[in-house]
């Protein structure tokens, strides 16, 4: 190892001595929100004592001298303890505004102690129904960043969701229509199942986590009311509501309401004002179609009273087709749907069938094997025997079944115009049979031709130029008489004569 010269070593020592400041000891104190916190500082101080915020030395929160002590609101220091060398400061209610780094100094000289006050991060669990509003208390002031992490995300903290600072609220584009800021509350309106996850509130000024909200959005487990398509259904709700009674439908909002003076209901719904005043707040769906099905909630002054789930009974249609016919299927167009095909024979490797088409936003998409056979009205052309089975139309997201087409294709499979009209027996016997049949047909043609030729050659004036007429004659006679066996027999007898 190379050693330095004496001059370099002395210079290094002097530089280290006069440029290095002593490192202050940092004491960390963490308490629960709104609890009292004691910031320790112990040293005999015969002069004046000051507690300040480290980044604002002029901001004195507490001070003592030999005569007395004083402190700002929310802080407390004991003169009796001060005289005994206990210079500790007490924060009576530790909220997020008190979170900071504080210094304890005596006689305006060196800092005796530096204390970092932190608020213990809190974890809150929120359970919501779809369509409700999520309210996140951010506990400002300061710059706040809210991150979101889905349940499936491997990231521990997720990605930025919204930022709140002195300029207001700024959220990701897909959330802007549903987010708002009310005082220190961030509101996400009309949550869906996909909004489930962890929302973390970060204090960027102090680089600390304030809160972690574990949000679960689930539909309530209620027994379904199963009704037939276009039939009316009554949703009971018995309550005495002195304020605003309301019926809401998931993903649609309010469909009916009543107060002490009147009632209102949307098209397709009916509610009775007189019954509401008597405590019967039942809702009637006058004609239940696919758009009316779903989750309904009876509320009084925004408090949930009762839930009902309306389900339309699947309609089963039996369809008899012949090979080559077209299969036509009705589709409910109120939401994305898919068509599932189950073969009439259940196979072990595919017991649940396979998805063959989906309809979403007016666009129909099918798997490759069905694309060329299906039109925008879901007409599957040219069915064959293998198309027999159940075609199930169900909701793409909720898996709810709308229609079932039980299709049976029976009859002879039609042949193409391009196929040769060769007896099926020949195909069954193989290539030798084809050769035998072909030879027999050729021999028959030659015999007919020779008979035609013999009858024409009896005329001694027939020349080479008339040979073409002989062929035409034979063809015409054969064609004319081939459809009538008796005529063919008479022709043969006249030729022999």
Residue 114: predicted pLDDT: 92
Which CATH number belongs to the domain containing residue 40 in this structure? 2.60.40.10
In a domain, 373, yes or no: yes
Given a contact cutoff of 8 angstroms between Cβ atoms, the answer to whether 339 and 357 are in contact is yes
Question: Which helix H or strand E contains 450, and what residues bound it?
Answer: helix 431-457
> Which of the four pLDDT bands, split at 50, 70 and 90, describes residue 479?
very low
Last residue of a domain, one of 164, 190, 217: 217
Q: Pick from 239, 252, 355, 255: which is nearest to 303 by CA?
A: 239
pLDDT score recorded for residue 382? 87
Quickly count: other Cβ atoms within 10 Å of residue 459's Cβ. Answer: 8
In a domain, 475, yes or no: no
Q: What is the pTM of this model?
A: 0.55
| 46 and 110 assigned to the same domain | yes
369 and 397 fall within a common domain: yes
pLDDT, tens only, 50-66: 999 988 888 899 999 88
Question: Which of 78, 94, 119 finishes a domain?
Answer: 119
Q: Using a pLDDT cut of 70, give the percent of the chain over it.
A: 72
DSSP structure string for 355-411 = EEEEEETTEEEE-HHHHTTB-TT-EE-S--GGG-EEEEEEETTT--EEEEEEEEE-S
**Between 213 and 222, whose confidence is greater?**
213
The answer to whether the beta carbons of residues 95 and 34 sit under 8 Å apart is: yes
- 305 and 357, same domain (yes or no): no
CA angle 304, 307, 312 (to 5 degrees): 155
Instruction: Of 230, 232, 259, give the one whose Cα is nearest residue 243.
Output: 259
By mean pLDDT, which of 58-67, 168-177, 294-303, 464-473 is the weakest?
A: 464-473
- The answer to whether residue 87 sits within a structural domain is yes
**Of the candidates 80, 82, 89, 86, the residue with the CA atom closest to the CA atom of residue 53:** 89
The pLDDT of residue 6 is above 70: no
Rounded CA separation 461/449 (Å): 20
Tens of pLDDT along 232-253? 999 999 989 999 999 999 878 8
> Does residue 456 form part of some domain?
no
> What tens digit of pLDDT does each residue of 393-451 get?
888 776 788 888 899 988 876 654 443 333 333 333 344 444 554 555 555 555 555 65
Report if residue 497 sits inside a domain.
Answer: no
- Same structural domain, 175 and 199: yes
The span from the CA of 24 to the CA of 113, in Å, is: 7
List the beta strands (DSSP E) in 35-110: 35-39, 49-53, 56-64, 69-71, 75-76, 89-94, 101-106
**For position 495, what pLDDT does the model report?**
41
Question: What pLDDT score does 357 carry?
Answer: 79
* Averaged confidence pLDDT in the chain: 77
Where on the phi/psi map is residue 128: left (φ > 0), alpha (ψ -120 to 50), or beta? beta
Residue 321 lies in a domain: yes
Q: Would the pLDDT of 350 be above 90?
A: no
Give yes or no: residues 66 and 35 share one domain: yes
**Residue 31 and residue 81 in one domain:** yes
- pLDDT tens, position by position, 84-135: 889 999 999 998 888 889 999 988 777 888 999 999 999 999 999 888 899 9
In DSSP terms, 380 is beta-bridged to 327, 374
Q: What is the largest CA-CA distance in the chain?
A: 161
Nearest to 276 by CA among 313, 318, 319, 246: 246
Look up the domain containing 106 and give its range. Answer: 23-119
* Same domain as 322, residue 305: no
Q: Which helix (H) or strand (E) holds 477?
A: helix 467-482
Q: Is the pLDDT of residue 70 over 90?
A: yes
The stretch 350-363 carries a mean pLDDT of: 68
Radius of gyration of the chain (CA): 46
Q: Given strand 134-137, what is the order of strands in its sheet?
A: 134-137, 185-188, 179-182
Torsion of CA 458, 460, 461, 465, to 10 degrees: 60
**In terms of domains, do 303 and 338 share one?**
no
- Single residue among 409, 443, 458 that ends a domain in this structure: 409
Whether 217 has a pLDDT exceeding 50, the answer reads: yes
What SS3 class is residue 251? coil
Exposure string (b/e) for 298-336, b if CB count within 10 Å is 16 or more?
bbbeeeeebbbbbbbeeeeeebebebebebebebbeebe
Quick one: 308 and 346 in the same domain? no
Residue 17 DSSP class: H
* 282-325 residue pLDDT tens: 999 998 788 888 899 999 998 888 999 999 888 888 888 888 88
Domain count across the chain: 4
385: exposed, middle or buried (C-beta count within 10 Å: 0-12, 13-18, 19+)? middle
Backbone angles phi, psi at 443, to 5 degrees: -65, -40
Task: Verify that 91 and 155 share a domain, yes or no.
Answer: no
- Closest to 164 in 3D by CA, of 187, 144, 136, 137: 144
Among candidates 295, 331, 290, which has minimal Cα distance to 313?
A: 290
> Is the alpha carbon torsion for 449, 450, 456, 460 positive or negative?
positive
pLDDT at 453: 54
The model's pLDDT over 35-54, given as tens digits with 9 standing for 90+, comes to 999 999 988 888 889 999 98
CB–CB of 233/283 below 8 Å? no
């Amino acid at each position: 190892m190379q050693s330095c010269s004496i001059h370099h070593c002395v210079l290094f020592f002097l530089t280290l001595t006069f440029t290095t400041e002593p490192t202050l000891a940092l004491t960390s104190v963490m308490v629960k929100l709104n609890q009292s916190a004691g910031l320790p500082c112990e040293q005999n101080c015969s002069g004046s004592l000051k507690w300040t915020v480290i980044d604002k030395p002029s901001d004195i929160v507490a001070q003592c001298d030999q005569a007395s002590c004083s402190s700002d609101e929310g802080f407390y220091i004991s003169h009796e303890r001060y005289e005994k060398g206990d210079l500790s400061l007490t924060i009576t209610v530790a909220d997020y505004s008190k979170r900071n780094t504080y210094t304890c100094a005596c006689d305006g000289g060196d800092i005796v102690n530096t204390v970092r006050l932190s608020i213990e991060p809190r974890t809150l669990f929120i359970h919501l129904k779809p369509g409700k509003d999520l309210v996140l208390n951010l506990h400002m002031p300061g710059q706040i960043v809210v991150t979101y992490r889905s349940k499936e995300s491997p990231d521990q903290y997720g990605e930025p969701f919204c930022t709140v600072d002195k300029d207001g609220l700024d959220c990701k584009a897909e959330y802007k229509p549903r987010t708002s800021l009310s005082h220190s509350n961030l509101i996400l309106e009309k949550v869906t199942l996909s909004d489930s996850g962890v929302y973390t509130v970060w204090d960027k000024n102090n680089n600390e986590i304030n809160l972690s909200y574990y949000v679960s959005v689930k539909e309530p487990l209620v027994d379904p009311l199963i009704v037939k398509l276009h039939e009316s259904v009554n949703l009971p709700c018995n309550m005495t509501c002195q304020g605003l009674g309301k019926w809401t439908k998931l993903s649609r909002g309010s469909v009916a309401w009543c107060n002490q003076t009147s009632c209102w209901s949307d098209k397709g719904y009916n509610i009775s004002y007189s019954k509401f005043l008597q405590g019967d707040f039942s809702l009637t769906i006058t004609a239940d179609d696919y758009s009316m099905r779903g989750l309904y909630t009876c509320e009084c002054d925004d408090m949930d009273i009762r839930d009902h789930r309306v389900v339309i009974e699947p309609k089963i249609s039996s369809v008899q087709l012949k090979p080559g016919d077209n299969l036509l299927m009705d589709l409910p167009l109120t939401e994305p749907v898919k068509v599932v095909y189950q073969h009439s024979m259940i196979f072990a490797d595919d017991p649940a069938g396979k998805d063959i088409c989906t309809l979403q936003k007016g666009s129909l998409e099918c798997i490759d094997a069905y694309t060329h056979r299906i039109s925008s009205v879901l007409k599957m052309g040219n069915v064959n025997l293998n198309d027999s089975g159940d075609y199930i139309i169900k909701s793409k997201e909720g898996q709810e079944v709308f229609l079932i087409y039980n299709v049976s294709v029976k009859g002879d499979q039609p042949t193409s115009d391009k196929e040769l009209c060769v007896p099926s027996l020949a195909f069954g016997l193989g290539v030798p049979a084809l050769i035998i049949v072909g030879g027999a047909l050729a021999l028959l043609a030659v015999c007919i031709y020779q008979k035609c030729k013999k009858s024409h050659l009896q005329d001694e004036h027939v020349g080479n130029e008339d040979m073409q007429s002989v062929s035409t004659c034979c063809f015409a006679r054969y064609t004319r008489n081939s459809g009538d066996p008796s005529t063919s027999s008479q022709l043969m007898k006249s030729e022999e004569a």
